[in-house]
A and B are shown apart, each in its own frame.
Chain A
Amino acid sequence: MRVSARNLLKNTLDLPPSLRTQAYATAANTSAAQPCTVPPWRPSNVLDDWVARDVRPISLRQLTFFGRTLTEPRLLESANYVRLELPTRIAHRLRNMQTLPYTALTNEHISHVYELYYGAFERFRKVSEVRNLDDNDRYCAVLKQTLNEHLSVIPRLAMGVLEIQDTIGPDQSDLLMKTLLRSRISRRVIAEQHLALTETFHSPWHFPNAKKPATLTPEDDFVGEILLKCNAKEIIEKCAATATQLASKAYGSEVAIPKIVLQGHLDTTFPYIPSHIEYIIGELLRNSIQAVIEQKGSSEPPPIEVLICEAAQHVIIRISDQGGGIERDVLPYLWSFAKGPRRYRRLENLATVPRLKATMQELEPGAASHSDKVKHGSSLSSLSSRPPELRLGMGLPMSKIYAKYWAGSLELHSLEGYGCDAFLQISRLGNKNEVLTTRASMDAV
């Protein structure tokens, strides 16, 4: 009963004094070992100015259209859009973090992320207008450096959120994670897109005014990071192969891995960022494989069925398994970053996630295909290639954030004792704007 009451409260200050003593007592038991890291003082007026600006959200279609005919003025325009958007978006998130209770922000993980963000903010806001290609190159170097530095943000944030559950309730921490991660995706999308465009512009086979060559090279389907024709079948097969490979390595060769069977409109294509869609499908498949193996044992496992359905404006991918469904005690916390009964185990596992960049080559030497094009580290690909025993409890909530980012959706229907159906819906046309936390909703929060 106390747990549900806590869910409704934003802050320990809202508790009446008698219950508050109880809350402090709980915190005393868990926080005894946690160090307190106080960020250094900074004047707040600098941040105030950037917080007052509004973001300009963008859609997939705008990004592709923009990058199609890549001329120098276009490239510089992209650089300046990114130059102003990044500090604005980070400033909003910094303000969100600053309004957390003092105890929450001084948690070592949260304050580590806060410091990373503040450093990035300081770096980004000082960049002057990009007027020529040299300016652009310098700016791209700054972007790359920052992208690399921030690879560890996701597991750190997840750990911090789990540790500060006594100070802020699960509702507020879920909202915080969602807002932070959504914004992070958006910043990395526009930054990585600009880097990819710059690379294309400088690549030896790029001639802005030349006619298209007779043979279509794979590079033509890409506009920066965006693959214009993500083939659903290919992506699912690729993710299935990766997941199966990881599973057999982890469980050993005697254990039979369920097959993944595709059905439906197999030649569906849609524009998307490959790493995003691979992450989502990868997570769902891994969950399904794990559930099936751990339930049925080593006999003939029932296959996992993937159905691709193409509608006028959407693509819907349904992943069905017979893995026994989701346990009762876990179900309420499925989409939450603040896990319930499994909290401490998740915390331990998160602590063992290695520095993400380093593991990309370690775990999967030959895996990267499109990610070859990406010179800088991608935090997603290394998360995707973690061993199955490493259960972080983040896959579903993260996948949902990614799905919703381009105005899609992710749902899960559990048939208790039988299996699970996951429904991933993606917009086909790419004309929906990014879903960001706007100033109005931020102030309401």
Chain B
Amino acid sequence: MLSLRTAARHHGVALRPDLPVHNLPLHRRLPSGTRPIQTATVKDADIARLAAKPLHPLTLADLCKNGRPPLSKQSLLSNANFTLSILPSRLAHRIQSLRSLPYIVVANPNVNKIHNNYVHSLSTLLPYAERKIETLEEEIKFTEAMADLVQTHSNTIAILAKGFLEARKYISKDEVTKFLDEHLRARIGTRLIAEQHIALHMSSKPHNDLSDQDQHKEDEDSSFIGVIDTELKPAALVRACENTVGEICELKYGVRPTVQIVGSPDATIAHIPMHIEYVLTELLKNSFRATIEAGMEKEAIEITIAPSPPPPEPAGKPSTSPEDLPIDPATNTPAAITTHDQGAVDAASSSPKPTASTSPNIRPLSHATPGVTIRIRDRGGGIDPSNLAKLWEYGFTTFNEDEIHDKTSGSGGGGMAGLDMLSGGAGQGSELAGLGYGLPLGRAYAEYFGESVGVGD
């Protein structure tokens, strides 16, 4: 129990979404194998039965409904039972979805590993199935199962990407995109639920009774509800991402562009830091690379943070939409993220999906808290019109086929491994570009609760 708490002591800076665990600093690593997780054999009948249940559409309200930490014992158990009620069927849906892919794709060792990971995770949850969690001991074991789940699936995207790259002869790009869109969006939700429970567990009363006084005080003042930061400062995130991406840049190119923040740097919103961090990192990676390769590293990349005024009534016109952005086709490539904390619904369940890529902001709901628009403007030369259509495809990258061979051959060369270790990771892969997942995945994160990403060229 102590090690679990130590591990999450800095729960305020939550886990990065898709980072290989070995890249985390020691104190942030989850305990692996401190206690063996109880598993049950997963039968096909179990999967079929669980997949037959409809998916519960996840909302931000769901994540916060058990109150602000520190949580009482009742609230904690209630959260555990809520998590338990929706996770198994989400996992079962993922397994069925994987099994609907052509056999030869699922037989690929990488894709197969991911499939087996999901079956394993379901096996850790089956012992709790059909029961309610009623004691703190059970809840601790359950949280360990959550930790195991988060850890097992931390590297899913890189492995899946490699698998689909290897199997590209046997499945069309459209099918891959369709499958990944749904799968990765669902994955966001599943991880979120698990990480939220772990974070709430860490900051709850029963588990902190034995801790030192400082920690207790820290928790009471914290602005966090689990993984949600109610006083998140986008500007701080931007600076953090700028640093990380800048380091990789320097490693690869020897120079790094600067970033200038304009607008309202002091604006705060309530959101999940790691999601926004991921999107920002991917966009900055693109911008930095384009800027340097266009020879414009002296020019600062301008990032505007514009808090949206609270709308007078629901369904009001949104503050900015991509069409409003000033466009200078010759030199400018503004990319806009709009985050509206709306308590809207995640798109991976049966509720209607938001429409295509550059859809403007979704209408905020009546109880919307103010959101923010972040615009990233670089002078990296723009996007080639022929590539515009493929922007949102998974696996599309302007790196050439030789690089792809490097990635699939597995040897990769010492260079990549070195980058892996040194850069401490910013998003998956930790090299500057190449897997082709940054934009579509970034959009998935941004759109998860109904926000959007737009690209103006």
Which of A92-100, A263-271, A281-289 lies at the interface with chain B? Answer: A92-100
User: What distance in Å separates the Cβ of A237 from its nearest Cβ neighbour in chain B?
Assistant: 47
Which of A25-33, A53-61, A238-246, A353-361 lies at the interface with chain B? Answer: A25-33
- A41-B101 in contact given A21-B54, A21-B55, A28-B48 (Cβ < 8 Å): no
Q: Are A34 and B44 in contact (CB under 8 A)?
A: yes
The yes or no answer to A36 lying at the interface (CB within 8 A) is yes
Pick the contact of A31 from B48, B54, B175, B179 — CB < 8 Å? B48
The yes or no answer to A44 lying at the interface (CB within 8 A) is yes
Chain B residues near A (Cβ < 8 Å): 44-45, 48-49, 51-55, 93, 96-107, 109, 112, 169-170, 175, 178-179, 182, 348-350
Q: Are B103 and A101 in contact (CB under 8 A)?
A: yes
Q: Are A32 and B45 in contact (CB under 8 A)?
A: yes
Q: Are B169 and A48 in contact (CB under 8 A)?
A: yes
The yes or no answer to A17 lying at the interface (CB within 8 A) is yes
| Residue of B54, B105, B178 with highest tally of chain A CB at under 10 A | B54
Contact pattern, A 175-207, Cβ under 8 Å of B = 1, otherwise 0:
000000000000000000000000000000000
| Residue of A11, A13, A24, A41 with highest tally of chain B CB at under 10 A | A24
What are 27 A-B pairs with beta-carbon distances under 8 A? A13-B101, A13-B178, A17-B182, A17-B349, A17-B350, A18-B54, A21-B51, A21-B53, A21-B55, A24-B52, A27-B48, A28-B45, A31-B44, A31-B48, A36-B44, A98-B102, A98-B103, A98-B104, A98-B170, A100-B102, A100-B103, A101-B99, A102-B101, A102-B106, A103-B96, A106-B103, A167-B100
Complex Cα gap A103–B106 (Å): 10
User: What distance in Å separates the Cβ of A163 from its nearest Cβ neighbour in chain B?
Assistant: 13
- A28-B52 in contact given A13-B179, A41-B109, A102-B98 (Cβ < 8 Å): yes
Q: Are B55 and A17 in contact (CB under 8 A)?
A: yes
Contact pattern, A 14-50, Cβ under 8 Å of B = 1, otherwise 0:
0011100100110110011011100101001000100
Q: Would you list the 6 A-B pairs with minimal beta carbon distance, nearest first?
A: A28-B48, A25-B52, A98-B104, A105-B103, A24-B51, A102-B106
User: Helix, strand, loop or mixed for chain B's interface?
Assistant: helix
User: Helix, strand, loop or mixed for chain A's interface?
Assistant: helix
Residue of B nearest to A22 (CB): B52
Complex Cα gap A21–B45 (Å): 15
Complex Cα gap A99–B93 (Å): 21
Residues of B contacting A105 in the complex (Cβ-Cβ under 8 angstroms): 103
Residues of A contacting B178 in the complex (Cβ-Cβ under 8 angstroms): 13
Complex Cα gap A44–B178 (Å): 24
Pick the contact of A13 from B100, B106, B107 — CB < 8 Å? B100
Chain A, range 67-121, C-beta contacts under 8 Å to B: 97-106
The yes or no answer to A12 lying at the interface (CB within 8 A) is yes
Complex Cα gap A102–B349 (Å): 23
Chain A, range 195-234, C-beta contacts under 8 Å to B: none
Q: Are A24 and B96 in contact (CB under 8 A)?
A: yes
Chain A, range 274-293, C-beta contacts under 8 Å to B: none
Q: Are B103 and A99 in contact (CB under 8 A)?
A: yes
Q: Are B52 and A101 in contact (CB under 8 A)?
A: no
Complex Cα gap A253–B106 (Å): 57
User: What distance in Å separates the Cβ of A317 from its nearest Cβ neighbour in chain B?
Assistant: 41
Residue of B nearest to A34 (CB): B44
* 15 further A-B pairs in the complex, CB-CB below 8 A; given A16-B350, A102-B106: A12-B96, A13-B178, A17-B55, A17-B348, A24-B96, A31-B48, A32-B45, A34-B44, A39-B107, A41-B107, A99-B170, A101-B99, A102-B107, A103-B99, A104-B103
